[in-house]
Amino acid sequence: MAVQWVLVCHGLVTLVVVISFLCGQWPIFQGTPIQRIHHFLTYGAYDYFLRFIGVVFGTKGTNAILSIEYFCCDRPNPILQLIYVGILGGTYYFIAKSSFSYIPGYYLSGIHRYTSLVAVAVGVLLFFLSSFSDPGTIKAENVSQYLSSYPYDNIIYSEKECSTCQIPKPARSKHCSICNRCVARFDHHCGWMNNCIGERNNRYFMAFLLWHLLICIYGSVALGLVLAGRVKELRVVHILTVYYGIEKDFKSLAPHVVQWLLGAYNTQILLMVFLAIVSLLLAGFFSYHAKLCLTNTTTNETFKWQEYISWQKKLHEAKASAEALKASISEMSSEKKPSQSKWKAFFRRSPLEEVEVVTKNNVYDRGFFHNLCEIIFPFSTRSSFSRTKLKNG
């Protein structure tokens, strides 16, 4: 049983590290160990690595690493796209090589040989749509339509000009420093797609996440049914109970069945665990972006709102502190004022406790149905968009 516990511990550690690396910056993990592990993996470890290179190889070594970082992180490149293709193709290859010989089986029909291939093909199609479709590039020819479609809220967006593109900057847009273009309803730049996620291709990105979540669930369940079918077909439970005298109950049989599966079908188990872990990651990522879509918010706007609310809270706290200080000075300097009851002074609210609560006022949230339609049918794909002209005055 020691081997099984080692595998379980290894899986849990791997899960924590992967989640921390990919999702540690999400607002839900703020102030948690997940965020601290993410900071170490993305900044701390890299900083120590740079120092080590500087000590061993000097300035030339450090500059070489920084050049590689610039190419990988600050310029468009297909590295993560190739990694995605490798992961998808490699996973499908190992599943086909290790498990297709058992299909059809006790629980799975032969059609799953073909449905799995179709599922992967659809996933690749959605990947290409997300990667190579226009995210909603703003140009001089269409900027007036975007200005009309996305009015300024004068809270986190106000009228300004893009200093790089030298055109007016519509609300909800952002100039992507990696792609070097302004993108309408900018969400984020996705390295896996080597493309920005914006107004026009957010629907493909969401479909990509949902489909790959379903593929991973389908793959892990199918592999589980393959293993269950092998246990049934080879009469493992019968052999354990009749020939080895194991009691016929789950608590007694489970460790022996698992041990047998780990010895005979370790490849399938590793693939099943891998797909299950990826399913959890995709479920969290898809749920986060689905919530953003249904509230008509983008990832970029989430951080903008956090900065705005934090700034407003500090501003209100500063005003409350000034009022409290002013009241204290006034009480100390007032000599003719009759002494106040100790009980009244004790229960009197401090001005610091009356700080105004700052709330998020998203003017772009127009309800579930309209928000969903804006994702599925972006403004720039509608016939009315080309006829829209910016109203002056």
Phi, psi of 368 (to 5 degrees): -55, -50
25 near 35, Cβ under 8 Å?
yes
Q: How far apart are the first and last CA of the chain?
A: 77
Please state, in angstroms and rounded to a whole number, the distance separating the CA atoms of residues 256 and 264: 12
Please state, in angstroms and rounded to a whole number, the distance separating the CA atoms of residues 337 and 339: 6
CA distances from 338 to 211, 327, 343 (A): 74, 16, 15
Predicted confidence (pLDDT) per residue in 72-100, tens digit: 778 888 998 999 999 999 999 999 999 99
Please state, in angstroms and rounded to a whole number, the distance separating the CA atoms of residues 213 and 290: 13
Please state, in angstroms and rounded to a whole number, the distance separating the CA atoms of residues 95 and 19: 24
- The alpha carbon torsion through 345, 348, 349, 351 (nearest 10 deg) reads -50
* Amino acid (1-letter code) at residue 323: E
Please state, in angstroms and rounded to a whole number, the distance separating the CA atoms of residues 205 and 194: 12
Model's pTM, two decimal places?
0.82
Q: Classify residue 201 as exposed, middle or buried by CB count within 10 Å of its CB (0-12, 13-18, 19+).
A: buried
Residues 6+ apart with CB under 8 A from 97: none
CA atoms within 13 A on the CB side of 372: 5
Q: Which two tokens stand for residue 15?
A: 């899960």
215 near 91, Cβ under 8 Å?
no
What is the per-residue pLDDT for 333?
67
Please state, in angstroms and rounded to a whole number, the distance separating the CA atoms of residues 153 and 308: 13
CA angle 2/263/224 to nearest 5° reads 105
181 near 261, Cβ under 8 Å?
no
265 near 230, Cβ under 8 Å?
yes
Nearest Cα to 113, choosing from 125, 127, 102?
Answer: 102
- Residues that are catalytic: 190
Q: Report the interhelical angle of 2-23 vs 266-294 (nearest 10°).
A: 30
Nearest Cα to 298, choosing from 133, 135, 102?
Answer: 135
CA distances from 137 to 47, 146, 151, 158, 179 (A): 35, 10, 17, 20, 10
DSSP string of 52-104?
Answer: HHHHHHHHHHHHHHHHHHHHHHSS--SHHHHHHHHHHHHHHHHHHHHHGGG-S
What is the per-residue pLDDT for 298?
96
Please state, in angstroms and rounded to a whole number, the distance separating the CA atoms of residues 133 and 145: 20
What is the per-residue pLDDT for 150?
94
Taking the chain (393 residues) in runs of 10, the rounded mean pLDDT of each run is: 63 77 72 85 84 88 87 85 94 94 92 96 97 95 93 93 94 94 95 94 97 97 95 89 82 86 89 92 92 95 90 83 76 57 54 60 92 95 76 44
